Amino acid sequence: MKIVEQIKQPIAFEMELFEQKFQLSMSSKVALLNRITHYIVNRKGKQMRPMFVFLVSKMVSNGEISERTYRGASVIELIHTATLVHDDVVDDSNRRRGFFSINALWKNKIAVLIGDYLLSKGLLLSIDNNDFDLLKIISIAVREMSEGELLQIEKARKLDITEDVYYEIIRQKTATLIAACCSLGAASVKPESQHVETMRKFGELIGMAFQIKDDLFDYTEDKIGKPTGIDIKEQKMTLPLIYVLNQASKKDKNWLINSIKNHNKDKNRVKEVIAFVKENGGLEYAIKKMKQFQLEALNILQTYPTSEYRNSLELMVNYVIDRKK
């Protein structure tokens, strides 16, 4: 059995029901909107975020969930999808999960409007049901994601990023949404309990490990057997590079910064940077940090009684580190 199917097993029924509820939450009287949202639903990814919501809510409540849990999972997925649609416009990206992006098929104006529509649908789903605590969790996440993206853009211009600033960027950009899924799962069944903050922290730790793993893919072999170097081409400073920059001699540091600032489109120069980072322990350091976050997340899970939901969350934490793409 595939690892994702194994993780999903204890919540298979809930996930099926969620998909139906999620489709309904997107519906509109406008035919064009329905055509586009139908396209989005049929090209869904692994649905890790709703899985976090259901697994956490069941773990903290001994298997109980409520309509609030389904609404929480739908809100997260609506708002997450909205941010992806907007991201593709910002990045001028024509592909998403191997399919054409919304902006590639329907142009930027429609893509922006679709993103806005999904965002408002998510907000109204919470407001109409008085789920104001859940709405607050997700609204904080959206604010932090926007701040994280802007902080990264600002730092890419100056290339003056420290390890602490890097952690702040990935905490806001990536970890904050997974943290929201986990705290929202707890809040949907145990509002105002200690579980809400404990699970937020758990999700944040997984998110940090997840993003470091993503950054490592830039330096490891892809399907065609070559490191991609995409982050370097986009002048994104990630942990392997930051570590090596901090350790390098002044001469090497100047060469690295010059390579990223002025030669980031030169394939051979990018290859040289990747080789330098690998030779100087950048990957080992990033892997060590990633495993620290993983271990902290697993330690939080150990404070809960053994259950199939806890087992699935442990599998999820390990899958984040071991995945191949």
Dist. CA 55–CA 39, nearest whole Å = 27
Dist. CA 314–CA 325, nearest whole Å = 19
pLDDT one-digit tens code per residue, 168-204: 999 999 999 999 999 999 999 999 899 999 999 999 9
Beta carbons of 219 and 277 less than 8 angstroms apart: yes
Beta carbons of 206 and 176 less than 8 angstroms apart: no
Beta carbons of 60 and 189 less than 8 angstroms apart: yes
Dist. CA 129–CA 72, nearest whole Å = 11
Query: How far lies 171's CA from each of 39, 145, 178, in Å?
Result: 31, 9, 10
DSSP string, 49-105: HHHHHHHHHHHHTTT---HHHHHHHHHHHHHHHHHHHHHHHHTT--EETTEE-HHHH
Cβ-based neighbour number of residue 104 at 10 Å? 16
pLDDT one-digit tens code per residue, 74-129: 999 888 888 877 777 776 777 665 666 777 767 777 878 888 888 888 899 899 99
The candidate with the shortest Cα–Cα distance to 69, out of 134, 142, 138, is 134
Q: What angle do CA 298, 184, 172 make, to 5 degrees?
A: 70
Q: What angle do CA 244, 246, 247 make, to 5 degrees?
A: 65
Average pLDDT over all residues of the chain = 87
Would you write out the chain's pLDDT as a tens digit for each of its 325 residues? 688 889 999 999 999 999 888 888 777 888 887 887 777 776 666 788 999 999 999 999 988 899 999 999 999 988 888 887 777 777 677 766 566 677 776 777 787 888 888 888 889 989 999 999 999 999 999 999 989 988 888 887 777 788 999 999 999 999 999 999 999 999 999 998 999 999 999 999 999 999 999 889 888 765 544 456 778 887 788 999 999 998 889 999 989 988 888 888 888 888 899 999 999 999 999 999 999 999 999 999 999 999 999 999 999 999 988 887 6
> What is the C-alpha R_g of the chain?
20
Cα four-point dihedral sign 194, 306, 47, 151: positive
Beta carbons of 281 and 239 less than 8 angstroms apart: no
Beta carbons of 10 and 55 less than 8 angstroms apart: yes
